[in-house]
């Protein structure tokens, strides 16, 4: 295992880094001074746009395609990060898919797709991170506050995020002695393409009033928490931070 890198620069892999919370987290971490590997599943143009935004702002980033549920592809992702930057210090696992349908109407193919990406994908990516992060590193998984909010239609998605939180808490304990923190961020309603899909203006307005701050979350709100857990928060470990503006 490599020695801990200097605080001035760490290498970060952000899965799902081409859009939404993953994209904003990649941009924030690059602005913090870290080298970032932007992982994407299929939208190469969006990933390259994220990299371009980072480099234009003076940061360092590269893009790499990998299906997070494919262990060979994820191993290659870590190989590429190590080859480009000498090692990996932080994993931000933001890749995920969502289908909002009542349980009685949910197609099992949709359930399987969500579970493959959201559960197997988290297991595969976190497993590789546990094997290869340098000491002093951090793993940050993205969960969801929907576990506590229990919105109708989110049964399958929430079940997957429950698994993400279970893996997060247990892995933190399994890495005893490694000086690697493992936490999860659980956003509330946040304005991303994934969240907005299928919602009308009335629904969005109603959801915006749920938080005492009376607005929907923004990706940069979540990226701020990710930045904290990825860097200075060395005494926060095995926790789920509910970044939802105070809804629950």
Which residues are tagged catalytic? 157
Query: How many whole angstroms from its chain centre is CA 89?
Result: 15
Question: How many other C-beta atoms lie within 10 A of the C-beta of residue 102?
Answer: 11
Radius of gyration of the chain from Cα atoms? 17
Q: In this structure, are strands 60-65 and 88-93 parallel, antiparallel, or unpaired?
A: unpaired
Helices then strands, each counted (H, E), the chain: 10, 7
* Residue 33 to residue 49: CA distance in whole angstroms: 19
* Residue 26 to residue 50: CA distance in whole angstroms: 8
Write down the residue that tokens 């940069």 correspond to: 220
Task: Give the helix, strand, coil percentages of the chain, each rounded to 5.
Answer: 45, 15, 35
Residues contacting residue 32 through CB under 8 Å, at least 6 positions apart: 227, 230, 231
Q: Phi/psi at 64 (nearest 5 deg)?
A: -150, 130
Query: How many whole angstroms from its chain centre is CA 33?
Result: 19
**Which residues sit opposite 64 in a β-bridge?**
39
3-class state of residue 68 by DSSP = coil
């Amino acid at each position: 295992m490599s020695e801990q890198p200097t605080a001035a620069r760490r290498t970060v892999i952000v899965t799902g880094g081409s859009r939404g919370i993953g994209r904003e987290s990649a941009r924030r971490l690059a602005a913090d001074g870290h080298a970032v590997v932007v992982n994407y599943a299929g939208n190469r143009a969006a990933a390259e746009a994220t990299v371009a935004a980072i480099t234009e702002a003076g940061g360092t980033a590269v893009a790499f395609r990998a299906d997070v549920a494919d262990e060979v592809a994820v191993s290659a992702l870590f190989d590429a990060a190590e080859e480009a930057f000498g090692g990996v210090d932080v994993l931000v696992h933001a890749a995920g898919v969502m289908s909002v349908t009542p349980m009685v109407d949910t197609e099992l193919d949709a359930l399987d797709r969500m579970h493959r990406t959201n559960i197997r994908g988290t297991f595969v990516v976190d497993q590789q991170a546990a094997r290869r992060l340098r000491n002093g590193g951090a793993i940050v998984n993205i969960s969801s506050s929907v576990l506590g909010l229990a919105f109708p239609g989110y049964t399958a998605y929430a079940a997957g995020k429950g698994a993400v939180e279970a893996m997060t808490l247990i892995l933190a304990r399994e890495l005893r002695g490694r000086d690697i923190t493992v936490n999860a961020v659980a956003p509330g309603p946040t304005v991303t393409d994934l969240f907005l899909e299928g919602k009308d203006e009335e629904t969005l307005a109603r959801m915006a009033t749920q938080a005492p701050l009376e607005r929907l979350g923004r990706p940069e709100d979540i990226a701020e928490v990710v930045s904290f857990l990825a860097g200075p928060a060395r005494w926060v470990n095995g926790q789920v931070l509910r970044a939802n503006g105070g809804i629950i």
